[in-house]
Structure 1
Amino acid sequence: MISQYQESLLLSARTFQSGPSDSTFEDVLEHIDSGILLFDDEGVLTFVNKQMYGILELNRHSLLGCTLHHLLSHIQLSRFKKKQVLRSYREMVLKGKPSYEFVDEYGRYWRASLSSGEEMKGSYLFTLKEISDYKLIEQTAYQNDSLAMLGRLSASIAHEIRNPLTAIRGFIQLLHPHLHLLGKEEYAKIILAEIDRANDIIHEFLTSSKPSVPQISMIPVSALLKEVVLLTESEALMKGCQINLQVLQEDLVISGDIKQMKQVVLNMIRNAMEAILERVDDSTGRIEVGARKEGTEVRIFISDNGKGMDICTLDRLFNPFFTTKENGTGLGLSVSDRIIKNHGGCISVSSRLNEGTRFVISLPLIH
């Protein structure tokens, strides 16, 4: 079975092969939004449209009369593109699959399709179409489904687990004096810490599925960052790193929910601490926190000299449930991203392995 879109391409290709005096069909093939390669029954390339030349990044009419072997040995064709052409050939010609999807070196999604058989009279028609927009819609739909499922799950977790945890915590505190007499006070501390960690996980689930309505107020950025750094300084020292707060302009003001903004900055500083702990060298851990005005925006930045991240991790960093931590939930940055977007801003991140990471929160400046 072939699609209506492929049928129109087949009709145009067959008509073009028959050599019409009118160039209408050639013009159609030249201006469609897909790249086209047409091989005859002997495997010789008889037609390439300008879209395909652009995709392959080759000079115009440099391929006509070539075979697939000549195409793969073309001196101007990049190694990555040769690899994808060969994989497409294996998947669709040798394995008989009607299409093959891949991601190029620029992060764009493509679908290659093959039409052959009786309707092509022995010829092969390869079409290549960018499907990045479709993939984005697909990923958004998947994310929305995940969040909907998370909403139902978190409501159940909150009622079924939080109440027993509260009761357990109360009894452990009552037993604390007896454990102290037995010399087992450390056990009580461990149990309480684990109960608090379980409660934090439940809180993250609830926040990600049902974020509270922001309580809007004017927030001086200087005061916000000073308070968050003060809250995290002792924890940072225990983990062997220093937090440096740069000198800030006192007139930088944003509009938003002060609790939610603290949650975002705290989360990023704690992530920086974790990244520093996972380094391979013994150099001093440093976390830089600051803010500056750029046009009509305030840019808050948190940077560290931790282990850094690769490209694959950066691409999925803000996806719900994605985490590189052994005990992480994968919700912290997802929630932070949603909070900042609800405030009319955005979060950007840059990172390099073994060099560090830099987060930048951009928010509208209030005059």
Structure 2
Amino acid sequence: MFQSVSMKTTYEDVLEHIESGIMLFDEEGVLVFVNKQMYAFLELARHSLLGCTMTHLLANIQLSRLKRKQVLRAYREMVRKNKPTYEFIDEYGRYWRATLRSGEQMKGSYLFILKEISDYKLIEQTAYQNDSLAMLGKLSASIAHEIRNPLTAIRGFIQLLHPHLHQLGKEEYAKIILAEIDRANDIIHEFLTSSKPSAPQVSMIPVSALLKEVVLLTESEALMKGCQINLHPLQGDMIISGDAKQMKQVVLNIIRNAMEAITERSDDYIGKIEVGARREGAEVRIFISDNGKGMDLCTLDRLFNPFFTTKENGTGLGLSVSDRIIKNHGGCISVSSRVNEGTRFVISLPLIQ
């Protein structure tokens, strides 16, 4: 008898310390065991449920309205509809799987097991997203190749017709058509780059020379859009290793996004873009900040997702490609922003010692 009681205590201690939540109802429907994980999920005081039935549990005044709904739905799905498992999301955004064990093997008792599966769901969603993006990348690459060939032919014929249009006084038509073809080719190039970025052509890049060249390229465009670009003086020689063209593409893309953010802000103010870099240990931090319209948290969370854009004519590939380029160079991009205050990008890259 003493040994039987001792074994029962041991089993209860084991069940008390497992990660899953446990509720055991006997053949009369009375709750005879609940472990601390289940109490934590229900957000109830310890040992406040022992001896009650499911009806009493649902009527417990300490049980919140949301928890009552979750327990009731799980009970209906598994007991009434004879489903062995039931998955749901709680009010904190966590994923849970409830499992019911009953029948002859339980001798009339009902065992409810609750396990958090948020990590599994995240892995599942990431795998699904990666598969979708891989398929989309292949599809976009094949479509882009098919579109690029006729565009090249059209561009050639327009150039041949250019003298005739000039004689008719319609030369501007040829310029518009050529500009639109070039814009379409640029979009196709972005698609191809996002689906299969080219390997970096590695060279030594002085950070100061890189930023000076990019600022020089964008100064006139910024003035036309009512912006000022300020290049902060750099301290010391900072050199990174990588593809100069790809690095220039990343910085240009972020500066042009900053210009767009400034022009989209409605109030009257002077648009400013600050560009600079500083050494932090074995890395360089290149920063690009603006006082444009800023972004909310929802936009920030999706900012580097392929094909996500807030622009009317955007492709949603610029920042996605930039993020991939920086990662290929062993670095990372971080961003902070506030609505109607501005945005700050920081590109972190390893330095050549």
TM-score for the superposition, normalised by structure 1: 0.77
Which deviates the most, 47-56 or 252-261? Answer: 47-56
Aligned to 2:292: 306
Aligned to 2:186: 200
Match of 1:246 among 200, 214, 232: 232
CA-CA distance at 1:195 after TM superposition = 1.2
Query: CA separation of 1:27/1:149 partners in 2, compared to 1, >3 Å: closer, same or farther?
Result: same
The equivalences for 1:217-366 within 5 A come to: 217-366=203-352
Q: Are the equivalent residues in 2 in contact too, given 1:36–1:128 (CA < 8 A)?
A: no
Match of 1:129 among 116, 125, 139: 116
Query: Aligned partners of 1:204, 1:297: CA distance in 2, in Å?
Result: 29
The equivalences for 1:79-228 within 5 A come to: 83=66, 85-86=67-68, 88-89=70-71, 91-94=73-76, 98-102=85-89, 105=92, 109-115=94-100, 118=103, 121=108, 123=110, 125=112, 127-132=114-119, 134-180=120-166, 182-228=168-214
Query: CA separation of 1:312/1:175 partners in 2, compared to 1, >3 Å: closer, same or farther?
Result: same
Which deviates the most, 246-255 or 307-316? Answer: 307-316
Match of 2:35 among 28, 33, 49: 49
The 3-state SS of whatever aligns with 1:251 is coil
Which deviates the most, 240-249 or 169-178? Answer: 169-178
Matched, 1:67 2:52: no
Query: CA separation of 1:192/1:89 partners in 2, compared to 1, >3 Å: closer, same or farther?
Result: farther
Query: CA separation of 1:283/1:54 partners in 2, compared to 1, >3 Å: closer, same or farther?
Result: farther
CA-CA distance at 1:279 after TM superposition = 2.7
Query: Aligned partners of 1:54, 1:253: CA distance in 2, in Å?
Result: 53
Query: Aligned partners of 1:331, 1:103: CA distance in 2, in Å?
Result: 34
Q: Are the equivalent residues in 2 in contact too, given 1:34–1:130 (CA < 8 A)?
A: no
Task: Look at both structures and tell me which one has the larger radius of gyration over its CA atoms.
Answer: 2
TM-score for the superposition, normalised by structure 2: 0.80
Q: Are the equivalent residues in 2 in contact too, given 1:41–1:124 (CA < 8 A)?
A: no
1:170-198 CA distances to partner (integer Å, 9 max, x unpaired)?
A: 33334445445555444333322221221
CA-CA distance at 1:209 after TM superposition = 1.9
CA-CA distance at 1:258 after TM superposition = 0.9
Q: Are the equivalent residues in 2 in contact too, given 1:350–1:359 (CA < 8 A)?
A: yes
Query: Aligned partners of 1:122, 1:281: CA distance in 2, in Å?
Result: 68
Query: CA separation of 1:70/1:160 partners in 2, compared to 1, >3 Å: closer, same or farther?
Result: same
Query: Aligned partners of 1:90, 1:282: CA distance in 2, in Å?
Result: 55
Q: Are the equivalent residues in 2 in contact too, given 1:216–1:257 (CA < 8 A)?
A: yes
Unaligned runs of 5+ in 1: 1-17, 75-81
Query: Aligned partners of 1:350, 1:43: CA distance in 2, in Å?
Result: 54
Query: CA separation of 1:93/1:54 partners in 2, compared to 1, >3 Å: closer, same or farther?
Result: closer
Which deviates the most, 226-235 or 45-54? Answer: 45-54
Query: CA separation of 1:366/1:179 partners in 2, compared to 1, >3 Å: closer, same or farther?
Result: same
Match of 1:26 among 12, 21, 40: 12
Identical pairs, percent: 72
CA-CA distance at 1:341 after TM superposition = 1.3
Query: CA separation of 1:214/1:180 partners in 2, compared to 1, >3 Å: closer, same or farther?
Result: same
CA-CA distance at 1:256 after TM superposition = 1.0
The 3-state SS of whatever aligns with 2:8 is coil
CA-CA distance at 1:131 after TM superposition = 2.3
RMSD of aligned Cα (Å) = 3.4
Unaligned runs of 5+ in 2: 51-55
Query: Aligned partners of 1:251, 1:346: CA distance in 2, in Å?
Result: 21
CA-CA distance at 1:28 after TM superposition = 2.6
Query: Aligned partners of 2:44, 2:73: CA distance in 1, in Å?
Result: 27
1:285-343 CA distances to partner (integer Å, 9 max, x unpaired)?
A: 32222211112211112222233333333222222222233322222222212211111
Which deviates the most, 262-271 or 27-36? Answer: 27-36
Query: Aligned partners of 1:284, 1:62: CA distance in 2, in Å?
Result: 64
Query: Aligned partners of 1:308, 1:234: CA distance in 2, in Å?
Result: 23
The 3-state SS of whatever aligns with 1:23 is helix
* Number of equivalent positions: 338
Query: CA separation of 1:359/1:39 partners in 2, compared to 1, >3 Å: closer, same or farther?
Result: farther
Q: Are the equivalent residues in 1 in contact too, given 2:264–2:293 (CA < 8 A)?
A: yes
Query: CA separation of 1:93/1:281 partners in 2, compared to 1, >3 Å: closer, same or farther?
Result: farther
Q: Give the counterpart letter for 1:67 in structure 2.
A: L
Query: Aligned partners of 2:271, 2:32: CA distance in 1, in Å?
Result: 61
Q: Give the counterpart letter for 1:157 in structure 2.
A: I
